[in-house]
Amino acid sequence: MGLTSDKVLVSAVVLAVVLFLATVWLWPRLARHGWRQVVGRVGLLLATQVALFAAVGLAANRSFLFYGSWADLFGQEQEMGVVVDHATGSKDVKVVGTQALDVPGGGRPSVGGQIQKVVVAGERSKIVSPAYVYLPPEYFQARYAKRTFPAAVVLTGYPGTAENLIKGLKYPRTAYAQAKDGRMQPMILVMLRPTVAPPRDTECVDIPGGPQTETFFSEDLPKAVSGMYRVGTQPRNWGFMGNSTGGYCALKIALHHPDRFAAGAGFSAYYKAAEDVTTGDLFHGDDELRKRGDLLWSLDHGQQGSSSFLVTSSKRGEGNLKGTREFIRKVKSPAEVSSILLESGGHNFNTWNREIPPGLVWMAGKLSAT
């Protein structure tokens, strides 16, 4: 049974309830003195607490989709090589599966669009990562057969899964609805997690002697996708967006690579590369690389180019408000900056689901299909 399945959650809840009732029922018998009674009391209390915490953890994970599978929970990397050998696609992108959107008529790509599960091989970085590509309905319609589409890279936070972007944050369905209602032009979404060298959190940095994550996202990924799908190769064709760590990466890539990305949107982003036990030594003593990973420092000391930025925060409930206001203040022409500042909100899916619909409309408005 899968980590997010109903059966697992129900089983955990039932087990917790049974153990609680057993504790109440058996407690009088275990109230006597003696080592057996003491062990029995400790065992029942411990088992009940473990079952309760497991049920709460499973319920929270099912709501927020922190982990998509048991392997993901325990940090086990899932190899996909065999599937890639039998898949279709280009040299750098292999399609390994497809799924329909849960919308009326979604079974037909020309009506509901399509989500393709792919594996992307970075030509320069040598990083290989799974991803999901959302293709809007227009991509499959005859009247758009010769048209290119704008595309946006979409990242989760750390250690999220790419499935979060489909199930929890509902990017494809939101993009479908916004385009259908005429609020935005049809746009391709390339969805993946920033952890392309699992389990390490590389913060989208080219680590000296380590994973070249920035190269993968800024060069390899757009080149590979443009070679597979009808997406242009100019900066105006590409945007970058994400939440939390993914938001930091989106702003960082758009800021440092205006020659490849016209826009970057960071939902609840932070503005300086994290350095902790999950990242390891990102910069190997190189102070210039560390400064470059600080977006506020980069805005002051580097050329900003002409990219557009969208940043979000909440006046109550989020820790990035001060940094967000500082980021807004430091952006200078020809770059542009917009913001979403909620009255209240936290670092969670509920907040991001309030920001993603207008964020997608903003992003589509900054990109061009040709």
Mean pLDDT of the chain: 88
Q: In this predicted structure, what is the pLDDT of residue 4?
A: 63
Q: In this predicted structure, what is the pLDDT of residue 79?
A: 44
**φ and ψ at residue 340, rounded to 5 degrees:** -125, 115
Question: Which tokens hold the place of 164?
Answer: 């979060």
DSSP, collapsed to helix, strand or coil, labels residue 96 as strand
Helix (H) or strand (E) holding 311: strand 308-314
Q: In this predicted structure, what is the pLDDT of residue 81?
A: 38
- Cα 312 to chain centroid distance, Å, stands at 16
Q: In this predicted structure, what is the pLDDT of residue 183?
A: 96
Q: Are the C-beta atoms of 203 and 253 separated by less than 8 Å?
A: no
- Cα 192 to chain centroid distance, Å, stands at 6
Q: Are the C-beta atoms of 242 and 249 separated by less than 8 Å?
A: yes
d(CA 252, CA 282): 15
In 102-150 the beta strands, taken as DSSP E runs, fall at 114-121, 128-135
Q: In this predicted structure, what is the pLDDT of residue 83?
A: 34
Q: Are the C-beta atoms of 250 and 266 separated by less than 8 Å?
A: yes
Condensed to tens digits (0 to 9), the pLDDT of residues 186-206 reads 999 999 999 998 889 999 999
Q: In this predicted structure, what is the pLDDT of residue 255?
A: 97
Q: In this predicted structure, what is the pLDDT of residue 5?
A: 67
What residue ranges do the domains of the chain occupy? 6-64, 79-366
Q: In this predicted structure, what is the pLDDT of residue 141?
A: 94
Say how many C-beta atoms besides its own lie within 10 A of residue 180's C-beta.
15
Q: In this predicted structure, what is the pLDDT of residue 163?
A: 92
d(CA 45, CA 26): 11
d(CA 165, CA 267): 13
Say which CATH topology domain 79-366 has: Rossmann fold (3.40.50)
Helices 6-30 & 35-64 angle (0-180, nearest 10)? 160
Helix (H) or strand (E) holding 266: strand 263-267
The amino acid present at 174, given as its one-letter code, is T
d(CA 63, CA 60): 5
Q: In this predicted structure, what is the pLDDT of residue 314?
A: 93
Read out DSSP for 191-226? EE-S-SBTTB--TT-B-TTS-BHHHIIIIIHHHHHH
Pairing status of strand 238-243 against strand 151-155: parallel
Q: Which residues contact 36 (CB under 8 A, 6 or more apart)?
A: none
Taking 50 as the pLDDT cut, the residues of the chain under it are 77-87
